[in-house]
Chains A and B, each alone.
Chain A
Amino acid sequence: MGILVFCDHDNGQFGAATLNAVSAARQIGGDIHLLVAGDTSGTIATEAAAIAGVAKVLVADGAEYAHGLAENLAPLICDLASQYSHILAPATTTGKNIMPRVAALLDVMQISDIIKIDDANTFQRPIYAGNALSTVRSDETTKIITVRSTAFEAALAEGGSATVEKIGNNGDSGLSSYVKSELSSTDRPELTSAPIVISGGRGMQDGANFAMLEKVADKLGAAVGASRAAVDAGFVPNDYQVGQTGKVVAPDLYVAVGISGAIQHLAGMKDSKVIVAINKDDEAPIFQVADFGLVADLFDAVPELEKELG
């Protein structure tokens, strides 16, 4: 029995988180097949076939798969399920949307957001915003799993030579249809895979002040993130949010600016290698997780930081 990994992609290229899910599959052990479902998925299938460790790429082509609609994708995955011991997807918004639907159709209890693999049946996952870690064993015939990408190294995107096999469609459910997307465009690295992240919180006071963070980000090649408070206040769009229910990041360096450090924010960044906190309140909880804390007014410290970085 092999492992099926659901490939998260945007019809242009596959999402980086897919590579982390492939690594998790390799740790479990067994033949790894990748499912690429989309509209004219040919190029993605070719790229996917080059991922190290993948034996076979299954391609389902059709307009009904173009936008990751769970109502169309779940039956497709279920039809394949009997051939696999495990079905994995990255814990992206796409994976989180589709996999529980698959699990329920198969009458399987899903294991969400795994961060460690003990053996092929036993997995560790965070609960209570990462304030506790739960190790669970599943005896289901097919394990349905989503993978937290920051917990697994990315598989190499080249070096593999998987066979590509076309599979049939099972049509449009007619239950939901795609209208449009409003995607943030940026030249900066993607938040969840950037080596350096600089995030702003309520202390930024205004969306326009994020320009200060962007200048620092550009000097460091960093991504820009935000706390929930900053997103709720409308300073920046929702896709900036780092936290329990937003994005989980674990860069080499995380710089928290004007962020107090609520539990739900810490849940999204406390596995970063080095954490810097800049906050004028020296009692702020963020300092309890920071390797380097600077008690200062961010409106002085951030421009100075930009200057110091040369």
Chain B
Amino acid sequence: MKVLVPVKRVIDYNVKVRVKADNSGVELANVKMAMNPFDEIAVEQALRLKEASGAEEVVVVSIGPAQNQETIRTALAMGADRGIHIEASHDIEPLAVAKLLKAVVERETPGLVLVGKQAIDDDCNQTGQMLAALLGWAQGTFVSALEVAGDKAKIVREVDGGLEHLEIQMPAIVSVDLRLNEPRYASLPNIMKAKKKPLDSLTVDELGVDINPRLTIVKVEEPAAREAGIKVADVKELVEKLKNEAKVI
């Protein structure tokens, strides 16, 4: 079985984002970028499947500008076999991403697509479900455990009330949650090796997908800042403030 893992390049999760002065978006120039943390978990899971002989090849795909090749190299350094870069200049909405990925799935015919449950930039939480819809495949979302057995997979999902166990038909889309695994670090020898791994480029035109945005961004703003609070001396003062000042208990 081949496993396909889409990875997104996003602002590093440690960076405090700044809104552009003209309110058109968030400042991306000279900001540290990294692989979306949920996608790292998806790559790790694909590698574990391969190590357990549950997968023959792990292919990573990323959509975006030339720098996305660095993100693909990161996944290759972790242990993925091959990369596909789809060149695209601007922000692409999840629906268009799902359409591009569908085209890649039709070329590559993987038995499983592992995706991060959401990207930490737009926080949309849509791409995996949309790809499953377009392919007519089963979807296992927010997954914290995955066991593939033949043409079925047993999954555990993190849901609002706790955990839910499902069995899904393969091929399937599985969107991974935080506690599925802890991604490995790439070792130096593997980083060197990754430079020689195959990385193909495709264009949006070759895949025949319309990626024009459907939503218009009217403005992007900073949220209202909370006013600075006070420090209390002890528990007694805290309880007194909550009772008499804030009146919340």
Contact B163 A104, beta carbon cutoff 8 Å: no
Contact A136 B216, beta carbon cutoff 8 Å: yes
If A96-B141, A220-B249, A292-B232 touch, whether A245 touches B179 (CB-CB below 8 Å) is no
Interface size on B, residues (CB 8 A): 80
9-residue interface stretch from B54-62, B71-79, B193-201, B236-244? B236-244
Whole-angstrom CA separation of A296 from B121 in the bound complex: 35
| B85 located at the interface, meaning its Cβ lies under 8 Å from any Cβ of chain A in the complex | no
Contact partner, A184, options B132, B139, B161, B228, Cβ 8 Å:
B161
| A134 located at the interface, meaning its Cβ lies under 8 Å from any Cβ of chain B in the complex | yes
If A228-B178, A270-B226, A274-B248 touch, whether A308 touches B231 (CB-CB below 8 Å) is no
Contact partner, B230, options A128, A135, A179, A293, Cβ 8 Å:
A293
| B26 located at the interface, meaning its Cβ lies under 8 Å from any Cβ of chain A in the complex | yes
If A93-B142, A128-B26, A294-B231 touch, whether A305 touches B239 (CB-CB below 8 Å) is yes
Total of A-B residue pairs, C-beta within 8 Å: 259
| A280 located at the interface, meaning its Cβ lies under 8 Å from any Cβ of chain B in the complex | no
Contact A292 B154, beta carbon cutoff 8 Å: no
Question: Do most interface residues of chain B lie in helix, strand or loop, or is the interface mixed?
Answer: mixed
Q: Which of B78-132 contact A (CB under 8 A)?
A: 93-95, 98, 117-118, 120-132
Contact partner, B138, options A71, A130, A232, A296, Cβ 8 Å:
A71
Contact A97 B228, beta carbon cutoff 8 Å: no
Chain A: minimal CB distance from B63 (Å): 16
Q: Mark A97-120, 1 if CB is under 8 A from B, else 0.
A: 111111111011111110000100
9-residue interface stretch from B1-9, B43-51, B164-172, B183-191? B164-172
If A238-B162, A244-B120, A293-B232 touch, whether A134 touches B217 (CB-CB below 8 Å) is yes
Contact A238 B144, beta carbon cutoff 8 Å: yes
Q: Which residues of A contact B94 (CB under 8 A)?
A: 100, 109-110
Contact A289 B249, beta carbon cutoff 8 Å: no
Of B163, B217, B219, B229, the most chain A CB neighbours within 10 A belong to B229
9-residue interface stretch from A28-36, A81-89, A169-177? A169-177
| B35 located at the interface, meaning its Cβ lies under 8 Å from any Cβ of chain A in the complex | no
Q: Which residues of A contact B139 (CB under 8 A)?
A: 70-71, 97, 101, 176
Contact A244 B98, beta carbon cutoff 8 Å: no
Q: Mark B139-179, 1 if CB is under 8 A from A, else 0.
A: 11110100000000010011111111111110010000111
Chain A: minimal CB distance from B92 (Å): 11
| B42 located at the interface, meaning its Cβ lies under 8 Å from any Cβ of chain A in the complex | no
| A42 located at the interface, meaning its Cβ lies under 8 Å from any Cβ of chain B in the complex | no
Contact A133 B133, beta carbon cutoff 8 Å: no
Contact A131 B17, beta carbon cutoff 8 Å: yes
Whole-angstrom CA separation of A45 from B108 in the bound complex: 45
Instruction: Considering the complex, give the chain B residue whose CB is closest to the CB of A118.
Output: B218
Instruction: Considering the complex, give the chain A residue whose CB is closest to the CB of B14.
Output: A263
Contact A292 B230, beta carbon cutoff 8 Å: yes
Contact partner, B160, options A93, A111, A135, Cβ 8 Å:
A93
Contact partner, A110, options B19, B126, B234, Cβ 8 Å:
B126
Chain B: minimal CB distance from A129 (Å): 7
Contact B168 A291, beta carbon cutoff 8 Å: no
Instruction: Considering the complex, give the chain A residue whose CB is closest to the CB of B27.
Output: A132
What are the 3 A-B residue pairs with the smallest beta carbon separation, nearest first?
Answer: A100-B129, A104-B130, A109-B214
5 A–B contact pairs at CB < 8 A? Answer: A109-B215, A135-B218, A174-B169, A245-B177, A292-B232
